[in-house]
Amino acid sequence: MLSSSSTTSSMLPSHDTVTSDRRCVAMETYWREVHSIEEEKEGEEEEEERKSMDEVELEEAWLTEAGLSSLVTGSVAAEETLPPAEVLLSTLTRQQVTTVRRRLDNYNETLKKRNRQPIRDVRDVFTEPDDDSADRCPSPPSHHAESPPSHHHTTTKTIRRNAHRVRPTLPMFVYEDQLPEHPSSPTNTHSPTNTHSPTLTPSPPHTHLPPTGRLRRADWLLRDTPYSEGVSEHKRGGTCWDCLRFHGDNNSELQFVPVSPSEGLTCADDLSSCDLTRLGFISHIEVSTFLLALGVQTKRTRPPRRRTRDSGVFGVPLNSLLENDKKKFPGVKVPVVFQKLLCILEQTGLQTEGILRVPGSAARLKYLRRELDRCSGAFDWSAVRQVDAAGLLKLFIRELPTPLLTHTHLSTYRSLLGVSSEVHQVQALQLLSLLLPEVHRDTLRALLVFLRKVVFHQDQNRMSVWNVSMVMAPNLFTCCHRGNKSSIAKQREEMEEAVGAARLIRLMITHQDLLWTVPTFLLLQVRHMNQVSNQKQLGLSRTTRRLLRRRNDKNDRNQVTELCEGVIRVQAPRHTKVSMAIQLDEQMTARDVTSRFECEDTPVQHLYEVGGNICERRLHPDCLLLDVYRVNPHCDWLIKP
């Protein structure tokens, strides 16, 4: 039983009474942070309890976020900018299709019970496949010697004009994929380098990483098969390949590092907004399929009603802050006030004992908050001490109308506590990070980079990764502290939630380089979606596409053979050398090409692949251009900052 004393220490639930996990010791830091937050909220209106969404709202929101809103709303206006439903569905694997089918069936069954009919019949868009439906739209050619079985499916479309609307169903699919017994990884890999860092808060490459011998290679990034395909062995009584490899690994504190494929490591920032949108649709479907395969259920709640301010700093949406900052600082990606607070802490607090943990004066914090809201542009930052900056930073995160991890995904983050394997937790965190809006993703990355610097100086500041995680967890995850009046069961549940939230933050800090990395299978699905969408825009018939595909496949093989002996033309419109013909060989990298255009007083240049089966992708300096060409033979090559 918890003590009923009114002292601050008595308000901190005793670890020994609620959990026996030896790793979750010294949770007093977490509860002191919760108590400090509650003191700051005294006199403020309490946030209303968040209610669960009903089945119709839940499924409709899920389908909309998956890019399939036309299946439930009947709207065709969005199809001008978003891929049609059949284009998206044609890229999905068997298990991903099963997830979509289950969601749509649940939506329709719920409508049927309420005597309602969907606005648009899905059979107005799809028909069941005929003899030609087995001819699938081609996936991007693989650069491996032995291509794995295809994991994509296709549908055909027929527009019908009738007034009869019945319950929608997903079309029939031709399944051709087989789960490999042991997912393999390409042997040709390159050491990763950190090429992109948050604005104004750069992380020097390899500064905060443990020795190379103590790193664990995240080679699952190289697989062509989705994560959900790998864990499906659990349901069939087999053993997951990742669990088999990392089971019993006592080095859980060691960092997973990205492993680069030969065509280059891809981060979220390397893709265009169009590709990121399509990547988000597939990631949304995959994370649901992945968690379902792991036996984890998620339940979303309605966002609480919170007042949104249009001016000031605190309580203002990140998008609004960023739009205002871009007027003065074009190209900024993280709100300036957030970067200012991080810079103060880096300059004065990294070696201060108890940074982020020691609370400042509540009265001074309120004063500084009022001043920042009143005159943020002319605010005197020299008067802000390290302890003040820490308090303002945490207050800024808590006051966001839309949480840094967003209302949409907070419940999914919490559901990861039911995943037993750390590898699978990291994989799910990676998929969720790719789903965050751009400004939220960039702000979270800047925060995690700073927290890693704090941990790097733990010998001086006494803030280990676990201490930092306990301090930040109540600020990133909404915490409802029920005090000592709740039952033992409630206390146990509260403690487990606290421990789980701190664990998630620890994983995000330790493995942050993986969070922004796009797995190979997701990029392949985006390429496939672009290719199908391009063919659809051309209005080609199935027979014409089949004949054209056969001819293109033959031409592609011939072109690759000729390219090994020939040249590519690289465009550089911002240089004196507008273009250059470059002969390729097996070892030529993007760095080799950009170095030929380097000159004095020019910013860092990057090579991009543009067009073909991708809208635009910035190439990793170490990627092999011949392998990029084999994946996207019809792309253009462009050099720009």
Tell me whether the CATH fold assigned to 216-304+402-520 matches the one assigned to 540-640.
no
Query: CB–CB of 337/384 below 8 Å?
Result: no
540-640 placed in CATH 3.10.20.90: yes
Distance, CA of 509 to CA of 501 (rounded, Å): 13
458-483 residue pLDDT tens: 999 999 999 999 999 999 987 555 55
621-636 residue pLDDT tens: 999 999 998 899 889 9
Q: Tell me the angle at which helices 362-374 and 28-40 cross, rounded to the nearest 10 degrees.
A: 60
Reply yes or no on whether the pLDDT at 444 is more than 60.
Answer: yes
Residue type, 498: A
3-state SS class at 77:
helix
CATH of domain 216-304+402-520: 1.10.555
* Higher per-residue pLDDT: 55 or 118: 55
Give Cβ neighbours of residue 42 (< 8 Å, ≥ 6 apart): none
Identify the band that residue 187 occupies on the pLDDT scale cut at 50, 70 and 90: very low
Beta pairing, strands 606-611 & 614-618: antiparallel
Give me the mean pLDDT over the 212-237 stretch. 76
Identify the band that residue 266 occupies on the pLDDT scale cut at 50, 70 and 90: very high
Give me the mean pLDDT over the 191-205 stretch. 40
Q: Which range, of 47-61, 71-85, 261-275, 284-298, averages the lowest pLDDT?
A: 71-85
Identify the band that residue 536 occupies on the pLDDT scale cut at 50, 70 and 90: confident
Identify the band that residue 296 occupies on the pLDDT scale cut at 50, 70 and 90: confident
Distance, CA of 630 to CA of 17 (rounded, Å): 60
44-66 residue pLDDT tens: 544 444 555 677 888 888 888 98
Reply yes or no on whether the pLDDT at 597 is more than 90.
Answer: no
Give me the mean pLDDT over the 487-498 stretch. 78
Q: From 426, 6, 468, select the one nearest 242 (Cα to Cα).
A: 426
* Higher per-residue pLDDT: 22 or 573: 573
Query: CB–CB of 409/435 below 8 Å?
Result: yes
* Higher per-residue pLDDT: 284 or 257: 284
Computed on alpha carbons and rounded to an integer, the radius of gyration of the chain in Å comes to 26
Identify the band that residue 278 occupies on the pLDDT scale cut at 50, 70 and 90: very high
What token pair was written down for 382?
């020299």
3-state SS class at 304:
coil
As a whole number, the mean pLDDT across the chain is: 75
What token pair was written down for 213?
């011998």
Reply yes or no on whether the pLDDT at 212 is more than 50.
Answer: no
Query: CB–CB of 279/522 below 8 Å?
Result: yes
Taking CA atoms, 345 is separated from 12, 389, 560, in Å, by 28, 7, 53
367-425 residue pLDDT tens: 999 999 888 778 888 889 999 999 999 999 999 999 999 988 988 998 898 887 888 99
Identify the band that residue 105 occupies on the pLDDT scale cut at 50, 70 and 90: confident
Distance, CA of 404 to CA of 410 (rounded, Å): 9
CA atoms within 13 Å, Cβ hemisphere of 449: 25
Q: For position 14, what pLDDT does the model report?
A: 42
Secondary structure of 139-151 in HEC code, one letter for each residue: CCCCCCCCCCCCC
3-state SS class at 24:
coil
Identify the band that residue 316 occupies on the pLDDT scale cut at 50, 70 and 90: very high
**For the chain, which residues make up each domain, given as ranges?**
55-157, 216-304+402-520, 540-640
Taking CA atoms, 546 is separated from 172, 186, 198, 210, in Å, by 20, 30, 45, 52
What token pair was written down for 294?
């792991």
Q: For position 542, what pLDDT does the model report?
A: 57
Distance, CA of 287 to CA of 228 (rounded, Å): 8
